[in-house]
Amino acid sequence: MKDDYLWDGSGEADPEIQKLEAALGRLRHNCPAPTFPEIAKAQPRPSRPRIWQIRLFPRFAAVAAATLAIAAIAFIFYRYRPKSNAGPVAGWEVTRVSGSPQIGSKTLRAANATGKLGLGQVLETDSQSQASIRVEEIGRIVVDPGTRLRLPDSSSGVRRLALDRGTIHASIWAPAGEFVIDTPSAVAVDLGCAYTLHVDDSGNGLLRTTLGWVGFKLADHESFIPAGAACSTKPKTGPDTPYFEDASPDFRSALSKFDLESSTPEERATALQIVLAQSRKRDALTLWHLLTRVAESDRGHVYDRLARLVPEPAGVTRKGILRLDQNMLDLWWNELGFGDVSLWRHWERTWKSGN
């Protein structure tokens, strides 16, 4: 953050300062300025202070001191406050949609019955049950039949759920990066979106985005899934390469073969040739991800095809991409039109600092 922002609002703003401004905004003084007596021209000081000086000055001084003290305390509390848990202590509100969803030992049977999913508790739906979770500042999540969902305890400063198996449909309006869902094979990070997430009994997952975009992550292995795209994920290896669901069957089959861990180098090379030959401009999404996933000897081929579909922007060079320069990769991603990757990078820094 540049110091100029604190004085005249110019320069780069620190996100923490902006949050503090928003939090204290409702306490802003909005009454007319007081009218003070006209100050007389300089003259010899009277031997006795005037009554209004005696009565008013201590009051103004006290108010000013109190205001400064409150602001200072609020800033210190906000800036250095302990990180909150993932969910409110009272729990997340669950509403029965159909059947008999169960929260811990409590079963919701009546029409529109509600309950609270507390920290460490499990929400389960059988083959005939469906439930809905709503948190005002987060969004709404529909829980399909055959699903097991948990509210884990977290000190990372983000709100999170854990999907052990089953299917959920999330509509999230929280700020980007403030809500995540853990699965057995990856973490889904909301970036302002709506999506469906499925996990099977073996821990494999599939994420489909219908609005905005989602980050899918396991350690340093990450995928970005914009609206209309999907991405599978597997335990230990994490998210596969994302693709648009309207891609050709040959394209999707070859990409699946490329992502398969058991595929031989020869099989992967053949699959990559098909992906490159079948790719459309829209499939630049897939090719951008492949830059960091192919063998170094194949990276130039991916670069050439991607550059024909979406020419590299200013500041991006072939040499830099071949050495996987992160800034250049991010510039090229932003050129694709699927979302601003700085949202993701900001979330990564915040998340790491909170852990």
Q: What are the domain boundaries of the chain?
A: 86-240, 247-355
136-158 pLDDT tens trace: 788 999 999 999 999 997 666 67
The answer to pTM > 0.95 is no
Residues 233, 240 contacting (CB under 8 angstroms): yes
Angle 252-258-261 (CA atoms, 0-180°, nearest 5)? 125
- In whole angstroms, give the CA distance from residue 173 to residue 270: 42
pLDDT at site 176: 79
3-state secondary structure 161-201: EEEEEEEEEEEECCCCCCEEEECCCCEEEECCCEEEEEECC
- In whole angstroms, give the CA distance from residue 327 to residue 207: 27
218-261 pLDDT tens trace: 888 899 999 999 999 999 899 999 999 999 999 999 999 999 98
Output the CA torsion sign for 342, 345, 351, 355. negative
Q: What percent of the chain has pLDDT over 70?
A: 71
19-62 pLDDT tens trace: 555 555 444 444 444 444 454 454 555 555 444 444 444 444 44
CATH number of 86-240: 2.60.120.1440
